[in-house]
Amino acid sequence: MLPIAIDPSAFTVPANVQQLTTHESAVRGVASIVASEFGLPVPAKFTVYVYGSRRVFEQGLIEDARLSPARAAELSEFAIGVGKRRQLLFNDDNERRGREWLRLIAHEVAHVSQFELAEGEGRGEQWLAEGMAEWIAFRVLERLEIDTLARRRTLAQAGIRNHASVVAARLDLASFGTSRGFTTRHLKEGSLPTYQLAFLMSDYLITRNGLTAVADYFRSFRTSRDRQKNFERAFGQKLEAFEHEVQAHLRSAVR
Ligand SMILES: [Zn+2]
C-alpha cells in the first residue's frame, strides 16, 4: 500500500478511457484534464493512497490524512474517496473500474484543486465545493466520452423532485454551506439527492457566472475568510438573494 507520488509535469490528457485502469493512471489522466481543459490548478506534487478495505481506509484517514478518529470513523462509513490538501485517499475494496469509479476520482481531484485555489481545506460554501466537484467530474466524464453533463442534469432534476428541502422550499444555505451541516443533511435526507441538489445549485451558478467566477471565489479565501463577503464579491449578490433565486429556479426545473 505504497503512496503514489503524482508529478503533473508528466501529465498528458488520456487518448481514451481504456487507458485509465489504475488509481494512478486515472488520477494522472483526470488531473491533466482538470488542468488543461478547465484551467484549474493542480498541485506540483501530491500523493495518492489506496487502501484495500474499509477498516484500513479508516486507519489511513487517521494516520495519513491526520483526521480525528471520530471523523475517520464517520467518513469511512459512507465515503470511498477523500480529497485532502495534496492528498487523495481511496477505499478500494471492490474491483470495479467503471464510470462511477472515474466520477469519484474526478470529484476528489476537483477538491484537491479547490484546496490549491483557496490555499487550504474547508473554505467556502460546502454545497458549492461539493456541487462544483460533481460538475467538474461530469465534465471529465463527458471529455472521456462516457457520459454527458446534460444527462446528469436531467437525472439530478428527477432525483430531487421529492427531496425534502426542495419540497419544503427551504434550502437553508446557511447550514448547507458548512461541512457539519452538509454531512447532517446527507445523513438525514440521503446522499444521492443531497449531492444532486448541490450539483444543480452549482450548475446554475456556473452557467450564470462562469467557472472562472467560481474559481475566483475559492481563490478569494487566500486573503479573506469572510464567506458572506467573498460570495457577494464573486457572484454579485448576497447569499440570501442567491438562495431565493436558485430556489425558484429549482422549483421550475423539477416541475
Ligand atoms: Zn466531495
DSSP state of 9: G
- Together in a domain, 103 and 133: no
Cα 177 to ligand 1 centroid, rounded to whole Å:
13
Same domain, 14 and 50: yes
> Looking at 66, 88, 121, which one is the last position of a domain?
121
Residues 131 and 105 in one domain: no
77 & 37 share domain: yes
Residues 157 and 126 in one domain: yes
What is the distance in A from the centroid of ligand 1 to the CA of 218? 15
Q: Please indicate, yes or no, whether residues 52 and 153 belong to a single structural domain of this protein.
A: no
Residue 251 shares a structural domain with residue 130 = yes
Could you tell me if 108 and 126 lie in one domain?
A: no
Do residues 105 and 132 lie in contact, with contact meaning Cβ atoms separated by under 8 Å? no
Q: Write down the pTM of the prediction.
A: 0.94
Q: What is the dihedral of CA 241, 244, 248, 253, to 10 degrees?
A: 80
CB 159 within 8 A of CB 186: no
Note the pLDDT tens digit of each residue in 186-217. 888 899 999 999 999 999 999 999 999 999 99
Quote the domain boundaries for residue 115. Answer: 1-121
The residue from 121, 140, 157 where one domain ends is 121
Distance 132 CA to ligand 1 centre (A): 9
Distance (angstroms) between ligand 1 centre and the Cα of 101 equals: 14
Average pLDDT, the chain: 92
Q: Sorting pLDDT into bands at 50, 70 and 90, what band is 5?
A: confident
Q: How far is the CA of 236 from the centre of ligand 1 (A)?
A: 25
In this structure, how many other beta carbons lie within 10 angstroms of the beta carbon of residue 156?
25
Q: What is the distance in A from the centroid of ligand 1 to the CA of 61? A: 15
* DSSP per-residue string spanning 69-95: HHHHHHHHHH-SEEEETTEEEEE--S-
Query: What would the pLDDT profile of 147-182 be if each residue is shown by its tens digit?
Result: 999 999 999 999 998 887 777 778 999 999 999 999
Residue in 238, 253, 220 with CA at minimum distance from that of residue 118: 220
Number of domains in the chain: 2
Is there a single domain that holds both residue 62 and residue 152? no
What residues does the ion ligand 1 have nearby, CB within 5 Å?
A: 130, 133
The closest of 174, 182, 180 to 227, measured between CA atoms, is 174
Question: Are residues 49 and 149 both part of a single domain?
Answer: no
Asked if residue 248 and residue 147 are part of one domain, the reply reads yes
In 3D space, the residue among 10, 28, 26, 6 whose CA is nearest the CA of residue 18 turns out to be: 26
CA of 179 to the centre of ligand 1 (A): 10
How far, in Å, is the centroid of ligand 1 from the Cα of 104? 9
Measure 210 CA to ligand 1 centroid, in angstroms. Answer: 20
Q: pLDDT at residue 90 above 90?
A: yes
- Residues 78, 189, single domain; the answer is no
What is the distance in A from the centroid of ligand 1 to the CA of 7?
23
Q: How far, in Å, CA of 164 to CA of 197, rounded? A: 11
User: Which of 121, 148, 179 delimits the end of a domain?
Assistant: 121
Cα 99 vs. chain centroid, distance in angstroms? 16
To 10 degrees, what angle do helices 69-78 and 54-63 make? 140
241: its cell numbers: 438573494
